[in-house]
Amino acid sequence: AQSVTQPDIHITVSEGASLELRCNYSYGATPYLFWYVQSPGQGLQLLLKYFSGDTLVQGIKGFEAEFKRSQSSFNLRRPSVHWSDAAEYFCAVDVGNTPLVFGKGTRLSVIA
Partner 1 sequence: EPEVTQTPSHQVTQMGQEVILRCVPISNHLYFYWYRQILGQKVEFLVSFYNNEISEKSEIFDDQFSVERPDGSNFTLKIRSTKLEDSAMYFCASSESFRNEQFFGPGTRLTVL
Nearer Cβ to partner 1 (16/96): 96
Burial class (CB in 10 A: 0-12, 13-18, 19+), 50: buried
Task: Pick the binder of partner 1 from 10, 61, 68, 104 (CB under 8 A).
Answer: 104
Beta bridge partners of 14: 111
- Judged by CB under 8 A, the stretch of 22-30, 31-39, 61-69, 72-80 that binds partner 1 is 31-39
User: Using an 8 Å Cβ cutoff, are 102 and 92 in contact?
Assistant: yes
Q: Read off the amino acid at residue 45.
A: Q
**Cβ neighbours of 18 (radius 10 Å):** 10
- Report 32-91 residues binding partner 1 (CB under 8 A): 32, 34, 36, 42-46, 49, 90
Binding site for partner 1 (CB under 8 A): 32, 34, 36, 42-46, 49, 90, 92, 94, 96, 98-105
